[in-house]
Amino acid sequence: MIAGTRRPLRIAVVAHVRHPIAQPFMGGMESHAWHLTRGLMARGHDVTLLASGDSDPALPVAALLPVHYEREIPWAHWRGSARFERVVQDAFERATDLLAAGDFDVVHNNSLHPLPLAWAKAARQPTVTSLHVPPFHTLRKAVNDNAAPWMLSTVTSAVQMRTWWDTPPDTARVASNGIDSALWPFCGEGDGSLVWVGRVSPTKGTADAVRAARMAGRALTLYGPVDDGTYFEEEVTPLLGGAVTYGGHLGAAALAERVGRASALLFTPLWNEPFGLTAIEAMACGVPVAAYANGAAREVVGECGAYAEPGDVPGLARAIETAMSLPRAAARARVLEHFSLARMIDRYETCYRDAMAGVAGAPIPKPGYVRGDTAVAALPV
């Protein structure tokens, strides 16, 4: 509960609807929403999760769609089509209806869609929007167009803050991701092998990880969902075989066990990585990181990793050997100090307080939301 308040808060967490908020997680955004909801509930807050109806039934879900849309209209094939835009638009119009009827103290918006932002500004609804991605045009425009004292934005790293704003507004905050370290138990010794964890896609550099492991002469297992089937079949599969394998998409407990026994994690972002949740999950297990120094990698991993420039596969192979020599206890200690779930919830509670305070005395904005407006779904929301 927020310090200084006498009651739990009524909080709506608005997720995207591309994937369910359930294990095994498709990626970091789904994991974040799941942990956020559980963490707020553990603090005594009254939480409603607005998400697809096939999300974790143990969570207090208000369904925006019966099932996540990727099952029937995959974003990669349907984006830009009238059907896709109508499905997503309908989902977030339902979200604004639920928010309007819910009498929420604060909304935590993880949706990546413009409608919750436009509605919250017009309704003077205290809102905290977590920006989990680089500043793509549609989302940046929605955030800037709907600026107000009660509309806070959070980014996950100082690096990401600089990519979003040349001069950050007073309503922008850094709130690093956090994990429940109990779900990622420490393992004091690795077995000499490597792991790579994430969505298999070109931006995550999966094929580079395989090439570097082979150069280093180390066994490697890849874990995670195949997000780009063409990339997996054409770029990754031909490199598999022998000591390099694909281990599938595992739930948290099984994945933590396999990650924990490795001697290093390969973290290979080929985009401006805003954070890197898989890195702190591995570090919580005591696993040091060999990384491409892209985006927030150095900021998050710190002294618990060794680095190469993005795309430098031989350099990454050398970084593997350096990383394997780093102390495992230091990796877990860094997570406990900087990236715990409790620390993340503390930071968000402060943001909720600031957003709620921003409503008092703020000038009334001009009307900026009309239900039914068409929003171009340029992001996989």
Residue 369 confidence (pLDDT) above 70: no
Number of C-beta neighbours around residue 174 at 10 A: 15
Candidate from 156-160, 193-197, 371-375 with smallest mean pLDDT: 371-375
Q: What is the mean pLDDT of residues 196-212?
A: 97
Q: Can you list the alpha helix ranges (DSSP code H) found in the chain?
A: 28-42, 75-78, 82-102, 114-123, 137-145, 158-164, 206-216, 229-231, 252-260, 277-284, 297-301, 313-324, 328-338, 341-359
pLDDT of 27: 87
Q: What is the mean pLDDT of residues 27-45?
A: 95
Query: Is the pLDDT reported for residue 313 higher than 70?
Result: yes
Burial of 257 from C-beta contacts in 10 A (0-12 / 13-18 / 19+): middle
- pLDDT at residue 331 greater than cutoff 50: yes
Please tell me the distance from the alpha carbon of residue 349 to that of residue 9, in angstroms, as a whole number: 10
Which CATH code fits 10-178+341-359? 3.40.50.2000
Question: Could you read off the pLDDT of 258-275 as tens digits, one per residue?
Answer: 999 999 999 999 999 999
Residue 123 one-letter amino acid: A
Sign of the alpha-carbon dihedral angle for 308, 311, 314, 316: positive
Fold of 181-336: Rossmann fold (3.40.50)
- Judged against a pLDDT cut of 80, whether residue 370 lies above it is answered with no
pLDDT digits (tens, 9 = 90+) for 68-110: 999 999 888 898 899 999 999 999 999 999 999 999 999 999 9
pLDDT band at 332 (very low <50, low <70, confident <90, very high): very high
- Mean per-residue pLDDT, 286-291: 98
Domain with CATH 3.40.50.2000 in the chain: 10-178+341-359, 181-336
| The model scores a pTM over 0.85 | yes
pLDDT of residue 76: 82
The residue among 194, 179, 187, 144 whose CA lies nearest residue 164 is 144
Residues 351, 358: Cα–Cα separation, whole Å: 10
> What distance lies between CA 160 and its chain's CA centroid?
13
The answer, yes or no, to whether residue 373 has pLDDT greater than 50, is no
Q: Which of 253, 199, 229 is nearest to 30 (CA)?
A: 199
Cβ proximity of 380 and 91 under 8 Å: no
- Rounded CA separation 228/247 (Å): 16
Per cent of the chain over pLDDT 90 is 86
- Which residues does residue 200 pair with via DSSP β-bridges, in sequence order? 226
pLDDT at 363: 64
Task: Render pLDDT for 99-152 as a digit per residue (tens, 0 to 9).
Answer: 999 999 999 999 989 999 999 999 999 999 999 988 888 899 999 999 999 999
For residue 340, what is the DSSP state? B
Sign of CA dihedral 176, 100, 123, 140: positive
Handedness of CA 61, 66, 67, 73 (dihedral sign): negative
Structure tokens given for 253: 């407990």
Residues in a beta bridge with 289? 265, 305
Tokens of 62: 């208000």
**pLDDT band (50, 70, 90) for residue 380:** low
Smallest CA-to-CA distance from 88 within 191, 36, 15, 181 is with 15
What integer pLDDT is reported at residue 80 of this predicted model? 87
* Cα 76 from Cα 160, distance rounded (Å): 25
**pLDDT tens-digit readout, 232-254:** 999 999 999 999 999 999 998 99
pLDDT at 219 over 50: yes
